[in-house]
């Protein structure tokens, strides 16, 4: 029988994984990149997957843009490489994914392409080029598996993960005729992401983010 292995708790507080969500053009990237100026963090790695505007914010701080070819496999490998970089003087590094909505759109397109090139999809399109092709559950499972590969990497590495998400207000209609308004992160359904969002001011004067993460 395997012997029981235990240890005393270290008291070390885990670094957060942060969802920075909001409508377009409200300063989400600005706030995320500005975190690189904080004296409490080491290197900041920015993965620009959406609008390709990371170069525009060069004056905000000493962040580094990670190059990738736009495919999921290369993005994930580069994220793993960034996560493997050692901390600087004990200060945590930061990974910024800008943005998560673009990542989910990439995965949706991948699932749709697989559905269209499947045997059933090709046959249906041969009969009707404008036919609607349903993405089967197994393809959505594969897409979600890739989504969680990124999410779990941000959760597990010994640093700060920031995922930017494009959000908007939409009508919520649980039943007619009443209507309510609710926030929605585009590409991932109603707001309340898998990681749980953190509200945090990433200014240089902000305290060490571990101090209040309980």
Tell me if 103 sits within 8 A of 148, measured CB to CB: no
**What residue spans define the domains of the chain?**
17-185
Looking at residue 27, the DSSP 8-state letter turns out to be S
Report the pLDDT averaged over residues 2-9: 94
Backbone phi, then psi, for 22, in 5-degree steps? 175, 170
Q: How confident is the model at residue 171 (pLDDT cuts 50, 70, 90)?
A: low
Write the pLDDT tens digit of every residue in 38-65: 999 999 999 998 777 889 989 998 999 9
Write the pLDDT tens digit of every residue in 104-163: 999 999 999 899 888 888 888 898 888 888 888 989 999 999 999 999 999 989 999 999
State the Cα–Cα distance between residues 32 and 65, nearest whole angstrom: 13
Question: How many Cα atoms occupy the beta-carbon half-sphere of 127 within 13 Å?
Answer: 8
**Which residues are registered as beta bridge partners of 168?**
184
Looking at residue 23, the DSSP 8-state letter turns out to be S
Instruction: Write out the DSSP string of 74-110.
Output: HHHHHHHHHHTSPPBTTBPPEEEEE-HHHHHHHHHHH
pTM (two decimals): 0.75
* pLDDT mean across residues, the chain: 81
Structure tokens at 199: 């509200």
**Which residues are registered as beta bridge partners of 44?**
94
Q: Which helix (H) or strand (E) holds 145?
A: helix 137-156
pLDDT over 80 at 179, yes or no:
no
Tell me if 179 sits within 8 A of 103, measured CB to CB: no
Class of domain 17-185 as given by CATH:
alpha beta
- CB within 8 A of 141, min separation 6: which ones? none
């Amino acid at each position: 029988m395997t012997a029981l292995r235990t240890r005393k708790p270290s008291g070390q507080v885990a670094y957060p994984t942060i969802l920075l969500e909001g409508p377009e053009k409200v300063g989400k990237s600005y706030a995320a990149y500005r975190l690189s100026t904080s004296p409490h963090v080491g290197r900041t790695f920015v993965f620009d997957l959406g609008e390709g505007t990371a170069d525009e914010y060069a004056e905000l701080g000493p962040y580094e843009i990670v190059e990738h070819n736009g495919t999921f496999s290369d993005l994930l490998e580069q994220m793993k490489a960034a996560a493997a970089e050692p901390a600087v003087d004990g200060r945590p590094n930061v990974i910024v994914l800008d943005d998560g909505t673009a990542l989910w759109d990439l995965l949706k397109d991948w699932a749709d392409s697989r559905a269209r090139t499947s045997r059933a999809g090709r046959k249906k399109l041969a009969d009707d080029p404008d036919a609607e092709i349903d993405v089967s559950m197994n393809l959505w499972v594969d897409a979600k598996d890739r989504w969680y590969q990124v999410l779990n990497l941000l959760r597990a590495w010994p640093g700060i993960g920031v995922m930017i998400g494009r959000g908007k207000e939409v009508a919520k209609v649980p039943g007619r005729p009443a209507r309510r308004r609710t926030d929605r992160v585009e590409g991932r359904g109603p707001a309340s992401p898998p990681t749980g969002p953190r509200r945090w001011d990433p200014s240089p004067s902000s305290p060490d983010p571990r101090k209040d993460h309980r």
